[in-house]
Structure 1
């Protein structure tokens, strides 16, 4: 049996080489205690899924997240920690539970029957023609995801660039594994700007999502709760979807993949999300003593459920790096699992499907198109940086 000391500082290894980190985690005992990282890591699919469903495994805890900071640093990040503590994924307080349910209802297709048509219309309008010579992250994927999310939120179309920048700054803070002054300062500034924006947005925006948030405000939610819900929908809709679209676009250049997408678009999109796994971890805290696979995790311990490792577990997914649309739908954990399952999962799948369809109609997947992706990784996230399109065989 591999030693539980096989890995030192999993966060550093994940940022340096995700594939190597995933292999190391899956080759080690799960759950694994990493003393240097100060966390338990749950990596295999079966245990990760069970862990995410445990009522005693609580959302991200600010005390754990800031345990290594000085008192001055902790005071500096307190507004950011209070903000993240209100995110729908990180809170079980009643306002967040009510908001979570309201947002889920607002994101159902029936709440906005024209949403799919608008998504497909935006994708086909924005996709470059011809594809050759374009840089798809800047020229298509970012404009498309930003327009889709601002439309969903009922935000003003010209607010997209600001929202994108503010959301990126908050995600950069969330992904920190150690204090970085410049990241904290940008996140604080962006949070202040976002709060002002959302205060006006709640008064003027139209649509199923703003209606749901206004309803929550009438029933006890605060302006800070509204900002947190808005921020999570913004960041969850743009950053991970952008990276998944790059993964999907690259996959469509493989022989037989365009036909596989046409035959089973839902299955193909599900597999793209599994392989991409843009968010590496689901941060959790043990609310009480827990037993996972015979291992005791003490109350108060920091726990990182490694979504990208679970989604590449060969014990669950044969040939885990291969896209197989025939696998069971949503068997992956890219959206989490249990009560904190991503409220926007269905919308993200709709965006991916619309974006990949538009790229195929513009010529992606034909023999004369090749693509070259470049990713940026932090400990907590894989971010698509560029996707250049050239001419010639892949």
Structure 2
């Protein structure tokens, strides 16, 4: 087990809330509490960066555009701005658009010889490319452009994940943001997808400015691809390995996918900020404090999920919190599930999927995310 997940489990069992001096954060760990706090109006989305107050004026000047960019992501925006962004973005997720993106995924998987079912790495050979095909269709970019977008995204994510100033990381992220911004303006002007056309129209009508649009694209790129890949890797591993995996998926694909997402819990926490003093579990959490809602800990809470590390189809409701809920819920969650179902359907329809003895995933589990390294045939 990852040391990070082990610590999250440990603090969940030690109490409902923990003050952590090193990160200057209050941690909420249990499912029932996380479930409630996700829709608590006393919490705001934006949090204070833990290292920005220690920067020099020169460092602050370099980081300012990137901090502003991240602060404009829908997931980090408070009302009323958040409400306006969601009202603009949600029409991009129509049934017709979702079906179009799902068809792009299925078309990719239908290519002869594109999937190494019995050898090689299923993650690199099928899962990641299929998810990328869906993202390409949604964003309105081509495959070559996605390579550049992914490079920009990696540099920006490296910045977001820092807890202290690092000049090379900040410089690379600053350059990436300038290039990514120019690219987003270009593709929106060409109206290549429902998203790009909607964003262009919102700018023309004055509902959004270009900084808002770049932030929307930034969240979609960084916050959609990797979590979908992680959840799908978990689902594929279960489908191939679990004795009742095939039967479970065919009988109730939505439930199967939901339980796979719970086990994966790609994003480990959701940071929030208190808008007023909050009395909770014998503690007073002051206004302006940073609260960390531990999604992964909640999804492993045996009070809500008996045998939490086991795959079970009888979990019932309320469901997991892997994609959060309420006004800060992941706007692309439905699209992620649709892409997952397209890939899993292809596995079910392909007899070679079940010709291997087992599949095993190798994971990179950090403090904030679970990311797969590979999905290969298990060694005998």
Give the TM-score normalised by structure 2. Answer: 0.91
Structure 2 CA distance, aligned partners of 1:26 and 1:340? 23
Question: Which residue number corresponds to residue 186 of structure 2?
Answer: 200
Question: Which residue number corresponds to residue 188 of structure 1?
Answer: 174
Structure 2 unaligned residues grouped into runs of 5+: none
Structure 1 CA distance, aligned partners of 2:262 and 2:361? 18
Offset of residue 374 of structure 1: 1.8
Offset of residue 314 of structure 1: 0.7
Offset of residue 154 of structure 1: 1.7
Q: Secondary structure at the match of 1:114?
A: helix
Question: Which residue number corresponds to residue 219 of structure 2?
Answer: 232
Deviation per CA, 1:34-55: give whole Å up to 9, x if none: 1122100011011111111111
Does 206-215 or 119-128 show the bigger shift?
A: 119-128
Offset of residue 378 of structure 1: 2.7
Select the residue among 210, 215, 231 that pairs with 1:223.
210
Select the residue among 17, 33, 40 that pairs with 1:31.
17
Cα 1:22–1:343 shift into 2, 3 Å:
same
Is the CA contact 1:61–1:285 (under 8 Å) kept in the aligned structure 2? yes
Select the residue among 267, 270, 275 that pairs with 2:263.
275
Offset of residue 130 of structure 1: 4.4
Structure 1 unaligned residues grouped into runs of 5+: 1-13
Question: Which residue number corresponds to residue 295 of structure 1?
Answer: 283
Question: Which residue number corresponds to residue 44 of structure 1?
Answer: 30
Q: Secondary structure at the match of 1:324?
A: coil
Structure 1 CA distance, aligned partners of 2:19 and 2:372? 30
Question: Which residue number corresponds to residue 56 of structure 1?
Answer: 42
Structure 1 CA distance, aligned partners of 2:171 and 2:316? 43
The two structures, once aligned, show a CA RMSD in angstroms of 2.4
Question: Which residue number corresponds to residue 138 of structure 2?
Answer: 152
**Structure 1 segment 372-383 matched on structure 2, within 5 A:** 372-383=360-371
Select the residue among 86, 98, 108 that pairs with 2:72.
86
Does 379-388 or 90-99 show the bigger shift?
A: 90-99
Does 319-328 or 116-125 show the bigger shift?
A: 116-125
Structure 2 CA distance, aligned partners of 1:127 and 1:312? 38
Q: Secondary structure at the match of 1:347?
A: helix
**Structure 1 segment 77-226 matched on structure 2, within 5 A:** 77-92=63-78, 94-111=80-97, 113-125=99-111, 128-217=114-203, 218-226=205-213
Structure 2 CA distance, aligned partners of 1:354 and 1:41? 36
Paired residue total: 378
Q: Secondary structure at the match of 1:374?
A: strand
Offset of residue 64 of structure 1: 4.8
Deviation per CA, 1:229-259: give whole Å up to 9, x if none: 0111112221111111111122122211121
Q: Secondary structure at the match of 1:192?
A: helix
Structure 2 CA distance, aligned partners of 1:127 and 1:59? 45
Cα 1:314–1:102 shift into 2, 3 Å:
same
Structure 1 CA distance, aligned partners of 2:51 and 2:308? 31
Q: Secondary structure at the match of 1:385?
A: strand
Question: Which residue number corresponds to residue 285 of structure 1?
Answer: 273
Structure 2 CA distance, aligned partners of 1:362 and 1:370? 15
Give the TM-score normalised by structure 1. Answer: 0.88
